[in-house]
Chains A and B, each alone.
Chain A
Amino acid sequence: AQSVTQPDIHITVSEGASLELRCNYSYGATPYLFWYVQSPGQGLQLLLKYFSGDTLVQGIKGFEAEFKRSQSSFNLRKPSVHWSDAAEYFCAVGGNNDMRFGAGTRLTVKP
């Protein structure tokens, strides 16, 4: 069965610092992977997705993620965090009728 693990429940970084949010997955075949962001009181917005091809995926708002099959990981990165990036971040695997989400990582940005 497919599943997603986000090991970090809460991360705090200083504005301008780099960010990496971890995501590990378990999937029987080639995974389809997604990162979504949820701002307080808002719905989920798609940041980026991986289906196939280049393992380094560029998304919106300056985010990127790298698919590493050997590590079953799809970590999200940003070189310089802005205060507006404070939100909940969800990794997801699968799709169609069987999308599985991780428990989320809450990002706090310090001034």
Chain B
Amino acid sequence: DTAVSQTPKYLVTQMGNDKSIKCEQNLGHDTMYWYKQDSKKFLKIMFSYNNKELIINETVPNRFSPKSPDKAHLNLHINSLELGDSAVYFCASSQLERGLDTQYFGPGTRLTVL
């Protein structure tokens, strides 16, 4: 009954490879997000997406791209992986409640680029 799930939990890969991380939510939420948490635990939003609008944090390299096959899924594709991409990536989802969303997070995917 996991609300927001991500796969894989761990991902180890070589520099230059292309990889994807999957995210699914069963909460019926309209909006999904991707966050990056660096080695100092700092969380930074990368994307937010609902079925009408994709908002990209301008600091995110265009090697990163979200893909949403349907409202319950938001996958993260990363091309030409670099060492600095090593981090924990969190997916989240939300639904507007009294004019503001409350975000619920997945368990995270730890990406290690060698």
Q: Which residues of A contact B (CB under 8 A)?
A: 32, 34, 36, 38, 42-46, 49, 51-52, 88, 90, 95-99, 101, 103-104
B101 surroundings in chain A (CB, below 8 A):
95-96
A101 surroundings in chain B (CB, below 8 A):
42-44
A43→B106 contact, CB < 8 A: yes
Q: How far is the CA of A101 from the CA of B105 in the complex (A)?
A: 13
A103→B48 contact, CB < 8 A: no
Q: How far is the CA of A46 from the CA of B45 in the complex (A)?
A: 17
B interface size (C-beta, 8 A)? 23
Interface of A is mostly: loop
B40 surroundings in chain A (CB, below 8 A):
103
The 0/1 profile, CB within 8 Å of A marked 1, for residues 103-114 of chain B is 111111000000
Q: How far is the CA of A38 from the CA of B94 in the complex (A)?
A: 18
Q: How far is the CA of A76 from the CA of B28 in the complex (A)?
A: 30
Q: Which of A42, A43, A49, A101 has the most CB of B within 10 A?
A: A43
